[in-house]
Chain A
Amino acid sequence: MSLAKAHQPPALVVRSGRPDIRKARAILRRIEEMRPDPALKGKTVEDIVRMCKRTREQIWKEKLAVRS
């Protein structure tokens, strides 16, 4: 194997096979039964977006703290 070939990144794999649609539909029904997640009850879209932004910032602060 040539050096260039050996250093090629692995091919992008984003799926492990064909989606199992029937199984996914059954899971969807279970998801509907458990709505809403108690942690999110009463929260608006804006609340949830803000919450996710805070989490992202927190994770990056933790990452940077580990690197420094």
Chain B
Amino acid sequence: MRYVLDTNVFVLAFGSAPPVKTEDLLALVVERAEDCELITGREILTEVRRNLTPEALRRCWELLRALAVVPVEDWQIPFDLGEKYREPGLKAGDAAIAALTEWAEADYLVTENRDFMDRSLLPFRVVRIAEFLTVLRQKA
């Protein structure tokens, strides 16, 4: 199983504190890393970089390195794929993330961004953190 964590999920997971409960998410990402592949892209990391302090960003990068994650570069994703997602009404940045998710053949896009919700034509599932925690726990 493959999944993409949207920027807001990274920022919540690495920077927030209770009552935002994301500790479980990172723990499950690590424990399921062998059979559940985290996919990320340069686009997402650039956005994460602008929203975390350098210290939090360093920890985020260290974790990605430990999980052997190789970020997908923007230029690798076909331009047409991004354009395809503009047509159903996604903004350019969101369309790029949808294109990354499809191109990487991910099963899930995990996000708290409501602009992605209720889009039935996507070839992957859009889930919020709480729902994705259930998915990861079922993989145990």
Contacts and interface: CB of A to CB of B under 8 A. Distances in A.
Interface residues of A, number: 42
Main secondary structure on A side of the interface with B: helix
Given A14-B2, A53-B113, 18 more contacts: A14-B70, A16-B68, A19-B30, A21-B33, A24-B67, A27-B59, A28-B63, A31-B56, A37-B52, A38-B53, A39-B15, A45-B12, A48-B15, A49-B8, A52-B47, A55-B47, A57-B93, A59-B50
Interface of B: 2, 6-8, 11-12, 14-17, 20, 23, 26-27, 30-31, 33-34, 37, 39, 43, 46-47, 50-53, 55-56, 59, 62-63, 66-70, 72, 76, 91-94, 103-105, 112-115
A48 B12 contact: yes
Given A19-B68, A45-B12, A49-B112, A56 B7 contact: yes
Contacts of B12: 45, 48
Nearest to B129: A45
Contacts of B115: 53
Interface string A53-66: 10111011000100
Contacts, number: 138
Contacts of B62: 27
A37 to B, nearest CB: 3
A43 B51 CA distance: 12
Given A28-B26, A53-B113, A57-B93, A36 B53 contact: no
A36 B76 CA distance: 34
A52 B30 CA distance: 24
Contacts of A7: none
